Amino acid sequence: MANTTLRVPLLPFSGGWASIPLASWWAPLALTLALWLISRLLKPPHSPRNTPEVRALPGPARPRFGWLLGNMAQLADHRETLIHPDWFQWGWTGVYESLFAQKRIYTFDPAAVGYIFAHPDEFERPRDLRTILGHIMGADSLVVNEGEKHRRMRRALNPAFSAGAIKEMMPAMLEKAGEMVALFERLIDEEALESYAARAPAPEDRVPGARKIDVFKFAGNLTTDIIGIAGFEHDFNSLSPEDDSPALLANRFNRLVDAANGMVLLTEAQNIMPVLDKIPTQSRRVIGEVRGQMERLSDTLFARRKEVGYDPGAKDLLSLLVKSASATKSDAAMSHDEVRAQMASLLFAGSTTTAATISFILFELAKLSEWQEKLRAEVLAGHARPSFEALNAFPLLDAVIRETLRLHPPASCTCRATTKDMVLPLAKPIPLRDGRTIDALPVSKGSYFFISMVCLNRLKEIWGDDAEEFNPARHADPALPRMQVPGVWGNVSSFISGPHACIGYRLAIIEIKVVLHALLRAFEFELLPSRPHIQHFSSLATQPQVKGEPGGQMPLLVRRHRV
C-alpha cells in the first residue's frame, strides 16, 4: 500500500505546512490536535454558558449559513439605533447573534440599564470594546480601564469638571464662539470660500444672501479649540480658512472616526478574535497614525507646562495632570503613559461628541422654524455676553438641548459583560419563547450585553406617543418621564450614568449653550433646498451623515438673522 501523506497547516495564517503519513498511528491524533488548536485560536472570547432564560429570550432567527455574520447583515441599514425595527415587537430585552455566532443580549429596559451602569464591577466593558478604545485612545485611558485604576484616574480629573472650574472656562468659550460667528459671516459674504464652507452645493442650494455650510465641520473645529484653551492653555486655531490643512487636530479626529467607521465588520471581527488583530488594515493604519500624532502633541503640551511651572492649587486639566504625574503616594497619582492617554482621550472625546450634538440641535431647529424663532427670541432678550448663571437660566435653551440629547445621544450605545453569575432586574417582564414570562433575568458570567441608549430615550411608554418627534415642550410636563431614566442630566441616558458616566458632561452642556446662544443671535438655519437625507450614524462616536456620502457632515443653509 502506498505511503500516502496528508498536508496540514502548522498554524492558521502562518503559511507553514507539515506532511503526515496516513499509515502512521499518530496521524489521527495529530490531525485532532491541529483542528483543536485552530478552533481554540478562532474561538471568540465571549462564549459563556448561557442560562436557560437567555437561550429562551425572544429575538431574530439565525439566517441560513449565518454562523459567520450572525444577524449583523440585518442591521446594516439601521445605523441610527443599531437595533432592527422588527425586533421592537418582542419587547425591551432580547437576544441576537453577532459575528461567529456570538450571542448578545440587547436591552433598553430602563431598570436593567440603570442596574448595569450602577454596578461597573459586575458589568465591565468587554474585551472587544476595550480593544478598539485602546487602539484609539491608549490602553491607559480613563475610558478603557475598570476597577480601582479607573477610580484613581477619575479622582485625579474630577476637580477639572466641577461647576467652579467650568465657570472659569466661560471667557474662552465666549471668545471662540465669537470667532465662529465672524467666520460664518465671512463664509456667507465671500464667494471664494464656498468650497471651504461645505462640499460642493447642488445648483438649487446656491441661494442669494445665504451659504451652504457644514456646521458639523466647524462645530468640531470650535470644540477642539475650546478644549485646547480651557483644558491645556493651547489654541489650535482651527477656525481659520487660511489654515485648513490635514494637520489640523480637528481634521485628524475626523480621519480617525472615519477610519473606525470604515470597515465595521472586519474591525469587530478583529476585536472579537485576537488572532485576527494581526491582519493589517487601512483603518488600523490610520488609527495608529492619528493616535501617534495625538500622543506627540500631548507630550509637547505636558512638557511645556512642566517646564514653566504650575499652580498646585489650579484646577485646569493640564495642571491636574502634571500634579498627578509628580505625585508619589497620592491615591490620584498617574504614570506618564496614563497622563498621555488622558490628554489624548479628553481632546478627542471633548470635541467630537459635543460637535455632533450642536449639529443635531441646529438640524432640528432648521426643520421646525417655530422652535428656532422661540429660542432666538429667548437668547436675544438677554445680554450678548451672558454670565454663567444667566446662560443656565434660559428655560427653552435648556429644553431644546435636553430634547436633542434624547433623540440624538452622543453615546448612542455601549456594551458590557458580566463578571459573575447574577440576576438582572427588569422594568418590563419578558415573554420567553418557551411560554414562560419572567420579571428578572438570570445571566451567567461572561454574558454580553448590547445597550441602546437611543432606543431607551425614545420609549413611548416613558415619553408618550410622540417620542420619535422633536418636542422641547415635553420637558415642561411634570408627568414626564413616566418612569425613572438612568442618566446624570435631563432625564436622558445620553451621558450614561453611575461611576462610569461621562466625566465632562457639565462642560459639554455649557459649551453647547454658549455656541447656540452666539449662533442663534446672529444667524438663521434652514434645510437645504436639495433636501439631502441626513442620518444619525451610531458607531465609535455618533455622527451626522448625508446618506450616500462618506464621512460625517451636517450641511445647512445659513443666512444672517433678518431683524
Q: What is the mean pLDDT of residues 17-29?
A: 50
In a domain, 273, yes or no: yes
Shared domain for 326 and 359, answered yes or no, is yes
DSSP-derived letter for residue 356 is H
In a domain, 28, yes or no: no
Smallest Cα–Cα separation from 450: which of 116, 80, 66? 116
| CA–CA separation, 28 and 474 (whole Å) | 69
The pLDDT score that the predictor gives to residue 75 is 80
Measured between alpha carbons, how far is residue 46 from residues 98, 264, 361 in Å?
11, 18, 38
| CA–CA separation, 494 and 378 (whole Å) | 25
- In this predicted model, what pLDDT tens digit does every residue of 203-248 receive, in sequence order? 999 999 999 999 999 999 999 999 888 888 888 888 988 776 656 7
- In this predicted model, what pLDDT tens digit does every residue of 534-554 receive, in sequence order? 998 887 678 899 998 988 999
Residue that finishes a domain, picked among 424, 451, 478 = 451
In a domain, 107, yes or no: yes
Look at strands 523-526 and 422-431 and give their pairing.
unpaired
Shared domain for 294 and 338, answered yes or no, is yes
Q: Give yes or no for residue 359 having a pLDDT over 90.
A: yes
Q: What is the mean pLDDT of residues 89-106?
A: 90
Q: How many CA atoms lie within 13 A of 442 on its CB side?
A: 8
Confidence band, pLDDT 50/70/90 cuts, at residue 102 = confident
Residue that finishes a domain, picked among 451, 475, 500 = 451
Q: What is the mean pLDDT of residues 13-30?
A: 48
Q: What is the DSSP string of 225-270?
A: HHHHHHHHS-----S-TT---TTSHHHHHHHHHHHHHHTHHHHHHH
Shared domain for 347 and 442, answered yes or no, is no
Per the CB < 8 A criterion, the answer to whether 324 and 339 are in contact is yes
- In this predicted model, what pLDDT tens digit does every residue of 37-93 receive, in sequence order? 655 555 555 567 899 999 999 999 887 767 777 888 788 778 788 888 889 889 999
Shared domain for 118 and 193, answered yes or no, is no
Residue that finishes a domain, picked among 451, 468, 503 = 451
In a domain, 172, yes or no: yes
Here the CATH number for the domain that contains residue 210 is 1.10.630.10
Per the CB < 8 A criterion, the answer to whether 48 and 444 are in contact is yes
Per the CB < 8 A criterion, the answer to whether 311 and 233 are in contact is no
Shared domain for 321 and 401, answered yes or no, is yes
Number of independent structural domains in the chain? 2
Q: Which domain holds residue 289?
A: 151-411+458-560
- In this predicted model, what pLDDT tens digit does every residue of 183-209 receive, in sequence order? 999 999 999 999 999 999 999 999 999
Shared domain for 494 and 506, answered yes or no, is yes
Shared domain for 195 and 278, answered yes or no, is yes
Shared domain for 244 and 286, answered yes or no, is yes
Mean pLDDT, the chain, rounded, equals: 86
- In this predicted model, what pLDDT tens digit does every residue of 151-174 receive, in sequence order? 999 998 898 899 999 999 999 999
pTM of the model: 0.89
Cell of 563: 431683524
Shared domain for 423 and 352, answered yes or no, is no
Shared domain for 391 and 466, answered yes or no, is yes
Confidence band, pLDDT 50/70/90 cuts, at residue 128 = confident
* Residue located via cell numbers 494637520: 247
In a domain, 8, yes or no: no
- In this predicted model, what pLDDT tens digit does every residue of 327-350 receive, in sequence order? 766 666 888 888 888 888 888 887
Shared domain for 236 and 319, answered yes or no, is yes
Helix (H) or strand (E) holding 340: helix 336-367
Shared domain for 195 and 86, answered yes or no, is no
Q: Give yes or no for residue 389 having a pLDDT over 50.
A: yes
413 annotated as belonging to a binding site for a ligand: no
The pLDDT score that the predictor gives to residue 9 is 43
When computed from its CA atoms, the radius of gyration of the chain, rounded to whole angstroms, is 26
- In this predicted model, what pLDDT tens digit does every residue of 132-150 receive, in sequence order? 888 888 889 998 999 999 9
3-class secondary structure for 5-68? Answer: EEEEECCCCCCCEEEEECCCCCHHHHHHHHHHHHHHHHCCCCCCCCCHHHHCCCCCCCCCCCCC
